[in-house]
C-alpha cells in the first residue's frame, strides 16, 4: 500500500588471483548490460516502457522450479505433462535434479537400468526439452546427480577424483628419538580408496605459548623436513633438544566422497577434484561422450538454459587438497608451502596446530587464496567456457569452501544463493557485487527451502523470505521445488524428494497439482515474474561498495554501520573483493566507481572480520583504492589503517610499501578514517555522500534501485535483514524520498507498479524538489511496492500534464480516468493542495459505515488419499458459520486440507452510486485465496496484505461475496501418514478474518 506525502516534506600475490578472472574470464565478462536489456516487453525511446511490459512479463524472467527426479525412473509422457503443468501455472522453466533423499531403499530405483545418465534418464531429459520448447520454457540441467558435482566412471583413486590431505602424528618428549613406521593417518581411508601417497614428513617443536583452544602451538622456525629420512615405510630421527616435538606425516589420497543420498548411477559416481583441470575435464568429457548426443544438443539449442552446480559441499575429515596445490602456492606467493603446512592442515574441519597468531593468520590467508584461485580458474571458469560451447550458461552456488565467492560470482554467468543456507541479506550482497561488477544480469536464489517444511509451507512464508532477498540483489527465483509424480514405495500425495527425511517431515515443499493451492499459484507466478522483470531491467544502482579482503559468502557477516544502521535509513551496499578491482568496470568517473553500473558513490573499508578484524589490505588493492580516491571517489576507512598490514605473509619491505600507500590515501581530501562505528554515517555526510533513497527515520523498509535510459525503478519491501531477527517486523508508515538519475527537466513523474495485478498508475500525491520525489509508504510486514520514475505517457499512461496533489485532507488521492480524485470513508469537506499552487475542495456526502462479514456458508473440498499414491479423493463438507475460526477449531475440518469456498451476502443502501465503492479487508487468511463478487472475479489478492478494492463491482441491494481459499495438506497428512506427520501440531488454516467491507466515496477534484 502506498500513500503520498502531505507536505512532509602487481604484486605476486595478486597475479594469479587476477588470472582467475582475466585469463578467459574477462573476455566473457562483457560491459555492463545496457538499458532495458531485460527479456520481453517493448520499450519506446520517447515514452518509456510499453503498457504491457510490466503486466505481461516474458517467460524468460518468470520463476522456475527445481524439478526433482528419482534419477531416470521417469515416464516421458508424465515429464511432458509436468512441463505443461508448470507452463499453465505461469512459470518460466525448471532445473532437472536427481534427488531422492526420501527413498530409504535406493535399490528400488535400479541404478543399472534407471540411474542418472542412463538411457531412460536421457529420454526423459529429451522429453522435457521437447515440451519446454513447445511451451516457451527453458530447462536447466545439473552437472551431476545430487551434489557436489560427480560423474560415473571416476573412481576414488583417479587423478580426477576429489582429494584430501590427512596427517599422522607422533609426540616425542624429553629428547627421546623415534625409530618406527611413518605415522599413519589419524583417519582411515574411505571405502573404495586403495591408494594413499606420502606427501611429506616433518618435525616441529611444541610451543604452548601459541596454543589456543584445540590447536597445539608450534615454533615456525623449528619446522624440519624429514621426508628424506624415510626408508621404505620407516622413519628414524632424534630431536636436537629435550623439548616436546611432534612428528607429522602428510598423506595424499582420494576422499572417496559420493554425491548426496546415492547411489544414483551405475557405476557409482564419485565427486571430482574441484581445484584441478583433470576434475573438470572428467565432467565435461562424460557429458560430451555419454550424454550429449546430436538429438540432445539440438534440443538444448531450442530450450536449454544453463548447466547448474549446487553448493560446494566437499566433505572430508582432512584438508581439501589437489596435487598441484604446492606449485600453485609457490607461483602465488613465491614461497614453498611445506614449511607452513602445520598451520593449515585440518582435523574434521578444525585447526589443530598453530604458529604465532599473526603468522598463522597470514599463512592461512595465502593458502585459501591459492585454493580460491584454483577453484575459480580450473573449475568455474573451465565449466563456464565449456557450457558456452554448447550454447548454455553456467549457474552455480559458489560457496561452501573458504574461497572468494565474490570473485566467483563475477566468473559465473548466473551466481546463485539460497534462502535456507544464507544467514542474512549480506550473503546475497556479496554475490551481487561480483555479478554487477562483471556486467552480468541475474542473481538467482534457491528459494523457499525450510527444515520441516514439507506440505506445510505457505506462500506468505515464501514471499516474506524472498521479499528481502530481492532487495539485496536477487532477481531470479528457482523454487524448491517440484517433485516428479511418483516413485516405488511412496505414499500419497506422491514422490517428494526430501520427505520423509530420516523418517520425519522433510525439507522444502513439493509444489504442483498435488497441492490444493496450485490452482491459485498463477497469481503468485505473475507476481514473481513482474518483480523479476523490474529487477532484471537496466543496471543496478547501489550507494556504497564495501571492500572485503576475504570474499567468503554464506557467513552472515555484514558491514559495520551500513548493515546495522545505514540500511534502516535507506542506504544500499554491495561487497567487492580484490579480483573485482581488475575488471574493466573498475574505474571512476564523475566520482562514481563503475559509473555504468552499479555506480557506487563511495567505498567503505574496514578490518577483515574473517581474521580478527585486522586492518589488512593487499598492496595491489591499496594501489587500486588510492587510484580510485585520486580520481575523486569518496572513501571511508574504519579502523587503524594508518598501521595497515598485508592480509598474507608479506614480502620484504611490503608492509612499509603498504603503509606508504595508505598514508597517501588517508591524506586525500575525499578520504576519511574513523575509529568509532557510530561515526561512519557522519563521515559519509562530511564527504557529501547521500543515499538514493532516504527514509528520515530508522525503518525495516528495504530497497533496491535499477536504472535504465527511460526510467528509475525502486523496489521496496518491509522486511528484515535475517530470518532469525526478533521481534517480528511491524507495519511501516512514513515518508520516503527517491531520486531520478535521468536528465533534469525531462518531465519525470512517479508511477506505482502493482506486481500482483500488473496495473501501472500515476502516483497522485507527492512533493518534488529537483530530482527528488517524496511520498508516503505504508506497508504490512513482508509487503512490497514498486515505484518507477519515468516520462509522462510511459506504460501507456494518458494522464497528460494534469497537476498532482502535494497535500490532502482526504484518506487518499488518485488519478482515475485521467482525472485527479480523492477518496474518503467518512462524510466531510476535504481540502487538497495541487502542485500548481491551487487549492481544491471536495464535499463528501454521507458514506455507508463499515460492515463486518461474519455469517458465512462454507463449502469444503476435503482432499484425501485415493486409490494410489498420486490419486486424490475429494470429500465434501458444508457448514454454516456464525463466526470465522481456523479449520483446526472446527471438529469436521480439524484434519482437513483442501479448498474452501466462503459465501455470504451483503445488502447495500439504495443510494449506492458509481462514485461509491468499498475495500474488502480479509484479515488473516491461510493460505491462498481468490475473491468473487456478484460473479466477477477481482484481484489477484496480495497475499501479504489481503485487501481488495471492490469499486465498480458492488451495487445497491444484495451482493454476493465469495472467498475461495486453498490450504496446504499438512493437517490431512497428520492422519493419513501418522508415522511421518502424526506428532506435528495442526496448522491454523482457513479464513480467520476479521473480514470487513469498508465503503468510501470518490470525488473528482481536478
Segment 97-151, tens digit of pLDDT: 999 999 988 889 999 999 999 999 999 999 999 999 999 999 999 999 999 999 9
DSSP string, 573-587: EEEE-GGGGGSTT--
* Dihedral sign of CA atoms 788, 790, 795, 800 in order: positive
Instruction: Give 465-523 pLDDT, tens digit per residue.
Output: 999 999 999 999 999 999 999 999 999 999 999 999 999 999 999 999 999 999 999 99
The confidence band for 91, taking pLDDT boundaries of 50, 70 and 90, is very high
**Cα three-residue angle 982-496-111, rounded to 5 degrees:** 130
Residues forming beta bridges with residue 830, ordered by sequence position: 842
Q: Where are the alpha helices (DSSP H) in 438-545?
A: 459-471, 521-535
Instruction: Tell me the mean pLDDT in the region 956-971.
Output: 98
Assign residue 391 a region: left if phi > 0, alpha if psi is -120 to 50, beta otherwise?
Answer: left
Position 605 confidence tier, pLDDT thresholds 50, 70, 90: very high
For the question of whether the overall pTM of this predicted structure is more than 0.85, the answer is yes
Task: Flag the least confident range among 6-10, 109-113, 234-238, 689-693.
Answer: 6-10
Number of H-type helices and E-type strands within the chain = 20, 58
Per-residue pLDDT tens digits for 796-827: 998 888 999 999 999 999 999 889 999 999 99
Q: Is the pLDDT of residue 385 over 70?
A: yes
Q: Residue 609: which residues within 8 A CB-CB, separation 6 or more?
A: 550, 557
Give the pLDDT confidence score for residue 214 in this predicted structure. Answer: 86
Q: Please tell me the predicted confidence (pLDDT) of residue 86.
A: 98
**3-state SS class at 953:** coil
How many residues in the chain? 1006
pLDDT the model gives residue 746: 65
Contact 617, 641 (CB under 8 A): yes
Neighbours of 533 (CB within 10 A): 29
Q: At 774, is the pLDDT very low, low, confident or very high (cuts 50, 70, 90)?
A: very high
Does the pLDDT of residue 20 top 80, yes or no?
no
pLDDT for 348 equals 94
The conformation of residue 250, written as its DSSP 8-state character, comes to E
Query: 710-767, pLDDT tens digit by residue?
Result: 999 999 999 988 877 777 899 999 999 999 997 655 689 999 999 999 999 999 999 9
Distance CA 496, CA 480 (A): 11
Residues 6+ apart with CB under 8 A from 985: none
pLDDT in tens, 851-860: 999 999 999 9
pLDDT in the model for residue 731? 97
Grouping H, G, I as helix, E, B as strand and the rest as coil, residue 124 is helix
Spell out a b/e string for 957-991, using b for 16 or more CB atoms within 10 Å of the CB, else e: eebebbbbbbbbbbbbbbebbeebbeebeebebbb
Q: What is the pLDDT of residue 38?
A: 40
- Enter the DSSP assignment of 319: E
* Strand 936-938 relative to strand 444-447, pairing: unpaired
Q: What are the residues whose beta carbons fall under 8 Å from the beta carbon of 725, sequence distance 6 or more?
A: none
Give me the helices (H) in 224-356, please: 277-286, 294-303, 325-333
For residue 655, give the 3-state DSSP assignment.
helix
Instruction: Count CA atoms within 13 Å of residue 764 on its CB side.
Output: 23
Percent of the chain with pLDDT over 90: 91
Mean pLDDT score, 518-533: 98
Residue 169 has pLDDT above 50, yes or no: yes
DSSP string, 375-387: IIIIIIIHHHHHH
Amino acid at each position: 500500500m502506498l500513500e503520498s506525502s502531505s507536505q512532509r516534506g602487481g604484486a605476486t600475490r595478486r597475479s594469479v588471483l587476477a588470472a582467475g578472472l582475466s585469463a578467459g574470464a574477462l573476455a566473457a565478462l562483457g560491459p555492463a548490460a545496457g538499458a532495458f536489456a531485460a527479456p520481453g516487453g517493448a520499450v519506446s525511446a520517447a515514452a518509456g516502457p510499453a503498457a504491457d511490459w510490466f503486466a505481461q512479463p516474458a517467460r524468460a524472467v518468470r520463476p522456475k522450479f527445481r524439478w526433482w527426479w528419482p534419477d531416470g525412473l521417469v515416464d516421458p509422457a508424465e515429464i511432458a505433462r509436468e512441463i505443461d503443468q508448470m507452463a499453465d501455472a505461469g512459470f518460466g522453466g525448471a532445473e532437472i535434479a536427481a534427488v531422492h533423499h526420501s527413498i530409504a531403499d535406493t535399490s528400488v530405483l535400479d541404478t543399472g537400468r534407471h540411474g542418472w545418465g542412463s538411457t531412460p534418464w536421457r529420454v526423459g531429459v529429451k522429453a522435457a526439452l521437447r515440451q519446454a520448447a513447445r511451451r516457451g520454457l527453458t530447462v536447466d540441467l545439473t552437472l551431476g546427480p545430487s551434489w557436489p558435482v560427480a560423474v560415473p566412471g571416476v573412481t576414488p583413486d583417479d587423478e580426477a577424483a576429489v582429494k584430501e590431505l590427512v596427517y599422522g602424528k607422533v609426540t616425542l618428549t624429553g629428547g627421546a628419538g623415534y625409530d618406527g613406521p611413518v605415522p599413519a593417518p589419524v583417519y582411515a581411508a574411505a571405502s573404495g580408496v586403495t591408494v594413499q601417497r606420502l606427501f611429506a614428513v616433518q618435525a616441529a617443536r611444541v610451543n604452548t605459548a601459541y596454543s589456543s583452544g584445540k590447536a597445539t602451538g608450534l615454533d615456525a622456525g623449528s619446522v624440519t623436513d624429514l621426508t628424506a629420512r624415510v626408508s621404505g615405510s620407516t622413519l628414524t630421527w632424534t630431536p636436537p633438544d629435550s623439548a616436546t616435538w611432534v612428528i607429522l606425516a602428510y598423506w595424499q589420497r582420494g576422499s572417496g566422497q559420493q554425491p548426496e543420498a546415492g547411489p544414483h548411477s551405475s557405476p557409482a559416481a564419485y565427486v571430482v577434484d574441484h581445484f584441478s583441470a583433470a576434475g573438470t575435464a572428467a565432467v565435461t568429457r562424460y557429458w560430451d561422450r555419454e550424454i550429449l548426443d546430436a538429438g540432445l544438443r539440438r534440443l538444448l539449442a531450442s530450450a536449454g538454459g544453463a548447466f547448474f552446480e549446487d553448493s560446494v559441499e566437499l566433505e572430508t575429515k582432512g584438508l581439501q587438497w589437489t596435487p598441484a596445490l604446492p606449485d600453485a602456492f609457490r607461483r602465488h606467493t613465491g614461497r614453498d608451502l611445506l614449511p607452513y603446512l602445520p598451520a593449515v592442515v585440518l582435523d574434521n574441519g578444525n585447526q589443530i596446530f598453530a604458529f604465532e597468531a599473526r603468522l598463522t593468520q597470514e599463512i592461512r590467508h595465502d593458502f585459501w587464496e591459492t585454493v580460491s584461485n584454483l577453484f575459480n580458474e580450473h573449475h568455474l571458469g573451465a565449466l563456464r567456457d565449456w557450457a558456452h560451447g554448447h550454447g548454455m550458461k553456467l549457474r552455480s552456488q559458489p560457496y561452501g569452501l573458504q574461497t572468494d565467492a565474490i570473485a566467483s560470482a563475477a566468473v559465473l554467468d548466473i551466481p546463485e544463493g539460497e534462502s535456507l543456507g544464507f544467514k542474512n541479506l549480506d550473503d546475497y550482497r556479496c554475490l551481487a557485487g561480483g555479478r554487477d561488477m562483471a556486467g552480468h544480469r541475474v542473481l538467482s536464489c534457491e528459494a523457499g527451502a525450510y527444515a520441516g517444511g514439507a506440505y506445510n509451507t505457505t506462500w506468505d512464508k515464501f514471499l516474506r523470505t524472498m521479499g528481502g532477498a530481492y532487495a539485496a540483489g536477487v532477481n531470479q527465483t528457482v523454487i524448491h521445488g517440484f517433485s516428479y509424480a511418483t516413485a516405488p514405495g511412496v505414499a500419497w500425495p506422491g514422490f517428494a524428494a526430501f520427505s520423509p527425511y530420516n523418517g520425519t517431515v522433510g525439507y522444502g515443499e513439493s509444489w504442483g497439482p498435488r497441492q490444493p493451492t496450485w490452482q491459485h499459484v498463477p497469481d503468485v507466478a505473475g507476481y514473481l515474474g513482474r518483480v523479476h522483470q523490474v529487477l532484471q531491467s537496466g543496471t543496478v544502482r547501489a550507494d556504497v561498495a564495501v571492500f572485503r579482503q576475504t570474499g567468503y559468502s554464506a557467513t552472515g557477516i555484514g558491514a559495520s554501520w551500513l548493515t546495522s544502521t545505514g540500511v534502516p535509513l535507506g542506504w544500499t551496499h554491495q561487497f567487492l573483493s580484490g579480483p573485482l578491482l581488475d575488471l574493466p568496470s573498475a574505474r571512476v568517473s564523475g566520482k562514481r566507481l563503475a559509473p555504468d553500473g552499479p555506480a557506487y558513490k563511495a567505498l567503505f573499508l574496514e578490518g577483515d572480520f574473517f581474521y580478527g578484524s585486522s586492518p589488512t589490505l593487499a598492496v595491489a588493492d591499496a594501489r587500486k583504492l588510492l587510484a580510485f580516491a585520486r580520481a575523486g571517489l569518496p572513501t571511508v576507512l574504519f579502523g587503524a589503517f594508518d598501521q595497515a598490514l598485508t592480509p598474507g605473509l608479506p614480502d620484504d619491505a611490503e608492509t612499509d610499501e603498504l603503509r606508504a600507500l595508505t598514508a597517501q590515501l588517508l591524506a586525500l581530501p575525499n578520504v576519511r578514517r574513523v575509529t568509532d562505528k557510530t561515526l561512519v554515517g557522519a563521515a559519509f555526510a562530511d564527504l557529501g555522500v547521500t543515499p538514493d533513497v532516504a527514509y528520515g527515520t530508522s525503518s525495516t523498509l528495504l530497497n533496491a534501485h535499477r536504472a535504465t535510459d527511460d526510467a528509475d525503478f525502486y523496489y521496496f519491501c518491509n522486511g528484515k535483514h535475517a530470518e532469525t531477527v526478533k521481534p517480528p517486523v511491524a507495519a511501516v508508515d512514513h515518508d520516503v524520498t527517491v531520486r531520478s538519475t535521468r536528465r533534469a527537466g525531462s518531465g519525470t513523474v512517479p508511477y506505482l507498479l502493482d506486481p500482483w495485478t500488473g496495473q501501472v498508475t500515476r502516483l497522485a500525491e507527492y512533493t518534488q524538489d529537483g530530482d527528488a520525489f517524496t511520498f508516503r509508504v505504508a506497508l504490512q510486514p513482508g509487503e512490497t511496492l514498486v515505484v518507477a520514475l519515468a516520462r509522462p505517457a510511459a506504460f501507456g499512461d494518458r494522464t497528460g500534464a494534469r497537476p498532482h496533489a502535494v497535500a490532502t485532507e482526504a484518506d487518499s488521492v488518485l488519478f482515475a480516468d485521467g482525472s485527479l480524485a480523492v477518496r474518503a470513508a467518512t462524510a466531510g469537506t476535504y481540502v487538497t493542495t495541487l502542485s500548481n499552487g491551487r487549492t481544491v475542495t471536495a464535499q463528501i456526502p454521507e458514506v455507508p459505515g463499515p460492515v463486518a462479514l461474519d455469517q458465512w456458508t462454507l463449502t469444503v473440498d476435503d482432499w484425501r488419499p485415493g486409490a494410489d499414491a498420486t490419486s486424490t479423493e475429494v470429500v465434501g463438507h458444508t457448514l454454516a458459520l456464525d463466526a470465522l475460526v481456523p479449520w483446526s477449531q472446527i471438529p469436521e475440518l480439524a484434519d482437513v486440507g483442501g479448498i474452501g469456498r466462503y459465501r455470504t451476502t451483503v445488502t447495500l443502501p439504495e443510494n449506492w452510486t458509481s462514485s461509491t465503492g468499498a475495500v474488502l479487508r480479509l484479515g488473516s487468511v491461510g493460505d491462498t485465496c481468490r475473491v468473487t463478487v456478484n460473479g466477477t472475479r477481482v484481484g489477484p489478492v496480495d497475499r501479504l496484505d489481503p485487501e481488495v478494492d471492490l469499486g465498480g463491482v458492488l451495487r445497491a441491494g444484495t451482493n454476493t461475496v465469495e472467498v475461495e481459499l486453498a490450504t496446504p495438506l499438512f493437517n490431512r497428512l497428520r492422519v493419513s501418514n501418522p508415522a511421518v506427520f502424526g506428532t506435528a501440531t495442526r496448522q491454523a488454516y482457513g479464513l480467520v478474518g476479521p473480514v470487513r467491507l469498508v465503503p468510501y466515496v470518490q470525488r473528482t477534484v481536478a
